[in-house]
Amino acid sequence: MDPTSWIKKYETERYVYTKDVNQFVVELTEGLTPGTAIDLAGGEGRNAVWLAEKGWQVENIDFAQNALDKCALLAKERGVVAKVLTTCASALDFTSQLAPVDLVLVAYLHIYSHQFAVAMQNAVAALKPGGTLMGVWHALENIQHNSHGPQNPDTLPSVESLTELCHGLGLRVQVCENRDGFVRTDEGPKPSVTVILLATKPI
Ligand SMILES: C[S@@+](CC[C@H](N)C(=O)[O-])C[C@H]1O[C@@H](n2cnc3c(N)ncnc32)[C@H](O)[C@@H]1O
């Protein structure tokens, strides 16, 4: 796996995925007490910086250094530089500066399923006992609906595949469901099914 295409995508001053936190991250974070967090494959940092604004100490781990540079700029803009760390590394093999943490967020990491399983295993390993794994992805069902987002089914999680993966990793699944909605694209809003996950690592 190679970050080249991602680095190319981020070579613009524009925030490709906007500076706005994902609505499901806001929803799933409700009720959690701020602590330490890893945003795995956090890109330009829209979610990491929002978490920092809410009082979390966050580490954005992504393999595209220019995305992390944009994350650091956004943190500065929002006055939370001290609360946002960045680590340029692969989700398949990283050493975290903050682990073990209270929360790992994985948002829109669409990679082949065998690699995804390794990334999720690493996410769980970086959690404290009692910690929370939170995730948001384009769902497999998008393919059937001819929707926006990745088109290779092997890179698209479903409620079933995530539940099975989480159980295999020893997690307690609290929320794993599809949500209908829209994603912003260059051609305007497009319908999209999102799968969301909230799971805890047993104490
Ligand atoms: C669709 S973007 C989502 C970024 C961010 N999570 C968000 O929601 O705005 C996917 C991100 O995954 C990162 N990525 C993909 N494969 C990765 C890997 N193996 N290790 C680390 N980061 C990876 C890319 O660099 C990119 O920033």
Q: How far is the CA of 6 from the centre of ligand 1 (A)?
A: 8
Which residues sit with their C-beta closer than 6 Å to ligand 1? Answer: 1, 3, 6, 17, 22, 41-43, 46-47, 62-64, 67, 90-92, 107-109, 111
Work out which ligand 1 atom sits closest to the CA atom of 39. 6
CATH of the domain at 26: 3.40.50.150
* Ligand 1, atom 27, residue with closest C-alpha: 43
Residue-by-residue pLDDT tens, the chain, 203 positions: 789 999 999 999 999 999 999 999 999 999 999 999 999 999 999 999 999 999 999 999 999 999 999 999 999 999 999 999 999 999 999 999 999 999 999 999 999 999 999 999 999 999 999 999 999 999 999 887 666 778 899 999 999 999 999 999 999 999 999 998 877 776 777 788 999 999 999 99
> For residue 182, what are the domain limits?
4-200
Write a three-state SS string for the chain: CCCHHHHHHCCCCCCCCCCCCCHHHHHHHCCCCCCEEEEECCCCCHHHHHHHHCCCEEEEEECCHHHHHHHHHHHHHCCCHHHEEEEECECCECCCCCCCEEEEEEECCCCCHHHHHHHHHHHHHCEEEEEEEEEEEECCHHHHCCCCCCCCHHHCCCHHHHHHHHHHCCCEEEEEEEEEEEEEECCEEEEEEEEEEEEECCC
Sign of the CA dihedral running 112, 117, 121, 124 = positive
pTM (two decimals): 0.96
Sign of the CA dihedral running 114, 140, 174, 86 = positive
What is the total residue count of the chain?
203
Contact 71, 44 (CB under 8 A): yes
Total number of domains constituting the chain? 1
